[in-house]
Amino acid sequence: MRALLPTLFGITLASADPLTFDTTPLGEKDRPIILRTYVPDPGLDPAVFRNHGKASKSPKYSPNSGRDTKGEYSMLKVIPAAIAVNHGPALSYVWDTTECRLLYAWQGGFLDLYPYWGEKNRGGRRSFDYGARLVGNLFYLAKPIKRERPTFIGYDLSDKGVPTFRYKLGDKEYTEKIIPSDKQYSFISYLDEDKLEYKGDLISKHQGFDRNLKIKSATAKAGEQVFGAYGCIACHSTDGSKGHGPSLKGLAGSTRDIEGGEPVLADAAYLTESIKVPNAKTAKGFPPGYMPPYQLKDKEIESLVLYIQSLAK
């Protein structure tokens, strides 16, 4: 199977690894990926969900007796029936098919599906609290609006795979399309033909699901594990090929050109800072704010630095 993959239908595929459990590779600025799944609520005003049903609790069921038992299940704290869209690190957003509007937008990553889809080695989702987690910097949250109950019609992908959402208010049909802009914390939306550029500020930082890797001592091998667990590979190749971020091959020990600053030596201090505070210095040719904020443990960061150093040659 593996041998067949790289030239499937004459198209050279970037990777011979089949895609399974994660949302890498990400979408592209002009070609998004779309995912329909439970999405997290990153702190929306409950009044935004005026048309959502109130989640009811359901009785617990015993497979042994075949009857309901004491206790209740609570619904997951997630938003169902929404559509998550990713244009690469430039823009991710969630559009809700019940309220028929944009709920929130973020930059720098997409969704971490680990709690729901499980992991490669083990499979299986978490039993509780298995909603997807956000990755990146949240900069837009919808505010409550008063209007009649909308009806979702659907979305079409005729514009090169960029979704145009269609819905009705009363008898009138509306469309909405959202695309990335070149600025940080910003997007462009078309409500019918009306173009609107939204420019916001950082609201909250998200690094996905905490893998709790329990690293005892920092090693390059552990760093490789952290690298895989937190999806760094979505943006950084380790073989020199170009991606959403610079390749990490040959980075350690080299001199880096920095946007609006003096070149710096990529020593351990620079690598550590690049992971802890991605916006401190921006590698030349890349936009700021595209690298997700990671609040990893010290041992995890030390391991990542050792791993990146091992890619120096």
Q: Which residues bind ligand HEC (CB under 6 A)?
A: 89, 108-109, 230-232, 234-236, 244-246, 251, 256, 271, 274-275, 278, 282-283, 286, 290-292, 294, 304, 308
At its nearest, how many Å lie between ligand HEC and the CB of residue 26? 6
- Residue closer to ligand HEC, measured from CB, 113 or 234: 234
At its nearest, how many Å lie between ligand HEC and the CB of residue 274? 4
- Residue closer to ligand HEC, measured from CB, 236 or 299: 236
Q: Which residues lie below 8 Å from residue 245, measured CB to CB, with a gap of 6+?
A: 89, 235, 236, 283, 286, 290, 291
Q: Which residues lie below 8 Å from residue 250, measured CB to CB, with a gap of 6+?
A: 240, 311, 312, 313
At its nearest, how many Å lie between ligand HEC and the CB of residue 12? 23
Instruction: Characterize 71-92 residue by residue with b for buried, 16 or more Cβ atoms within 10 angstroms of its Cβ, and e for exposed.
Output: eeeeeeebbbebbbbbbbbbbb
- Residue closer to ligand HEC, measured from CB, 24 or 175: 24
- Residue closer to ligand HEC, measured from CB, 83 or 251: 251
Structure-block tokens of residue 263: 């070149």
At its nearest, how many Å lie between ligand HEC and the CB of residue 235? 3
At its nearest, how many Å lie between ligand HEC and the CB of residue 160? 22
- Residue closer to ligand HEC, measured from CB, 48 or 135: 135
User: Which of 285, 209, 184, 276 shows the shortest CA–CA distance to 244?
Assistant: 285
Q: Which residues lie below 8 Å from residue 135, measured CB to CB, with a gap of 6+?
A: 108, 109, 110, 111, 112, 206, 207, 208, 231, 292
